[in-house]
Structure 1
């Protein structure tokens, strides 16, 4: 696994004009590469979602069994995301992300050749494990290449990659399933992802210092952490420092991570069950129902950009108000979707777009807030820890929600989502007045304030 090790730092010998030009070039190249790469991770993660009805018809699988497979992926992904966060903080994101994408493509092909539940479970569980090699690498790149004052916008732009992937995969997968069979709904996205993995190897690079560039804080003339510009040793925290001095003892990382659990219950339930809901409860045809997920993702695209930009512009880096506003809007949009009668396609699509905007906004912001709470050398781990709890929530949206639908119909589906949305609001509303620093403390008036984060001495 030596190829995953971080690239060595290079001495800084360029003048300011060269540094400015290189930063502009590499930030654009890094961003479009991780944007397209992570979109393709969604091709191999969500292909199964849109193959489910056709697998059920072909193989006689129940909703509970299909939900079980979804839960297996989410549990595997959730566990792996924390471990992968630690690995990513100590790896070269160029090879880490690309390797994960290539392996997920191979596992999708093997899944498509299978026909029994236990084999499906094996390959889909492994797929979940390597799916988690995607976003921690993206998180590391964003925290090293962009300053906090601009990170909310760029983080949100790159986060919309899964909206692109999520919007395209239902159209591609359903087209393949309808015309060629459900197995091709697995094969075609897998081949696309393998090709993209090799493109990532070509396009991505490690952090700025490995290219002979100063840290982004130095580049922005805002040095907030010690930096020895001419050192060539890659500065890393130990695993114990990452886990016990930065992440697991940070109570606010826990608060955000638990709220992430409920965000993912809603997001994943809508993403995985909307196709079934629209075809069964609202009698839509397959291609029209698949466009519902498309509009959910389009709304998410807009919501993430708005939440990221708003948290930078209106709240000066405080991420909580944007999350609270979104969670309140989410409750009303879910109620609308539940009570709009059948044959009102425009309203259904509009409400799904609003749900996407209100769920993807906090989904992106919570992960960013968790990453900003810690030393940037532990950012991927903190983000991965939040992601682990988030994907436990996603697992709840699989088998448990599938059984609820079997038992109580779609009424139970909406009750679960509304309760989750209300809990997000209740957890985050008390943090509204926080200002933009790093670790929480309480000032003399009792108001929650952000105090400077603790940065460990680089070694």
Structure 2
């Protein structure tokens, strides 16, 4: 109890604070399971992926998905451009990939800001017990699972595969529910938790769909590079969230933290809406790239014949 009181900057002899101290003491040493359980689940997931995952439909005797032809020549002895040229065309100079990367920063700042700092905010600013705070953040995650599935369904059935449009809708609605959550602190715990959970319902959609949109725009031949690039930007957002929110909370209080999270969500929504008219994938871009390369190769071959 003395250690917990010291960590919380509380006086253990103060009877008003004893309830808080004892509440934290009841969870003493339980924090280790917060690491053991995810680690075990990660190992099980890795084994499942290693055993069950396949490279593409052809590796299990299935035909390629319609509309995913990249224009790459399959003719025996046919020339293909270098991998570097293809990545440059489909990833490094593809403005839709970079737009998704920038949007991923805002998504991760908003998502991790709530997930990492939510329990501390709820206990300090909303005076919840640690149990109520844990259940509130747990509801946030449960709704996030449902919201991710819904976002995938809506992308296919409402937006016809244009994931960036669903991302905009999700970010906008996440901002709305976060705004209600922070603007009305006097709501009952259940209602307040519901609004926080609805924010989770919508914020996890873009987190999942950005990877899909990146893969679609880079095509199957460069999807890994595009996803890796988007992931780097996402983890940069996590870093900013982890460091920045703590500094803001110490200097300007928790309300300012959530005002900033809402502002970040608005920036994310604006980033997504900037690509509203983008195509659903990059296969037309890939076909054009290969056609241009074939024309260039044909021109070079003609010049070499003339020189001979």
TM-score (norm 1): 0.52
Shift of 1:267: 0.5
CA distance in 1, matches of 2:200, 2:135: 13
Q: 3-state SS of the aligned residue for 1:382?
A: helix
Q: 3-state SS of the aligned residue for 1:377?
A: coil
1:183-198 superposed matches below 5 A: 183-198=32-47
1:91-130 superposed matches below 5 A: none
Task: Give the corresponding residue for 2:302.
Answer: none
CA distance in 2, matches of 1:284, 1:237: 60
Q: Which of 285, 292, 295 is matched with 1:453 structurally?
A: 285
The answer to whether 1:401 aligns with 2:233 is: no
Which deviations, in whole Å up to 9, do the C-alpha atoms of 1:88-139 show, x marking residues without a partner? xxxxxxxxxxxxxxxxxxxxxxxxxxxxxxxxxxxxxxxxxxxxxxxxxxxx
CA distance in 2, matches of 1:249, 1:230: 28
Query: Conserved in 2, the CA contact under 8 Å of 1:265 and 1:420?
Result: yes
Shift of 1:229: 9.1
Structure 2 spans left out of the alignment, 5+ residues: 10-23, 291-308
Query: Conserved in 2, the CA contact under 8 Å of 1:372 and 1:379?
Result: yes
Which deviations, in whole Å up to 9, do the C-alpha atoms of 1:318-361 show, x marking residues without a partner? 22332222222122211111122256111121111111122112
Task: Give the corresponding residue for 2:254.
Answer: 410
Which deviations, in whole Å up to 9, do the C-alpha atoms of 1:274-311 show, x marking residues without a partner? 11111111121222211112211222223222222222
CA distance in 2, matches of 1:237, 1:200: 32
CA distance in 1, matches of 2:48, 2:5: 35
Q: 3-state SS of the aligned residue for 1:432?
A: coil
Q: 3-state SS of the aligned residue for 2:245?
A: helix
Shift of 1:201: 3.2
Query: Conserved in 2, the CA contact under 8 Å of 1:282 and 1:343?
Result: no
Change (3 A) 1:188 1:58: farther
Q: Which of 209, 212, 218 is matched with 1:365 structurally?
A: 209
Q: Which of 297, 300, 320 is matched with 2:141 structurally?
A: 297
Change (3 A) 1:238 1:191: farther
Task: Give the corresponding residue for 2:64.
Answer: 216
Structure 1 spans left out of the alignment, 5+ residues: 1-53, 63-174, 440-451
Q: Which of 120, 123, 138 is matched with 1:276 structurally?
A: 120
Poorly superposed stretches of 4+, deviation over 6 Å: 227-231
Q: Which of 172, 176, 184 is matched with 1:340 structurally?
A: 184
Shift of 1:430: 3.5
Change (3 A) 1:431 1:274: same
Which deviations, in whole Å up to 9, do the C-alpha atoms of 1:189-231 show, x marking residues without a partner? 32443344334433334333333x14432xx5x5624589999
Total equivalences in the alignment: 270
CA distance in 2, matches of 1:223, 1:389: 26
CA distance in 2, matches of 1:407, 1:186: 30
Task: Give the corresponding residue for 2:231.
Answer: 387
Shift of 1:368: 1.6
Change (3 A) 1:215 1:422: same
CA distance in 1, matches of 2:236, 2:114: 16
Q: 3-state SS of the aligned residue for 2:119?
A: helix
Change (3 A) 1:249 1:198: same
Task: Give the corresponding residue for 2:52.
Answer: 203
Which structure's CA Rg is the greater one? 2
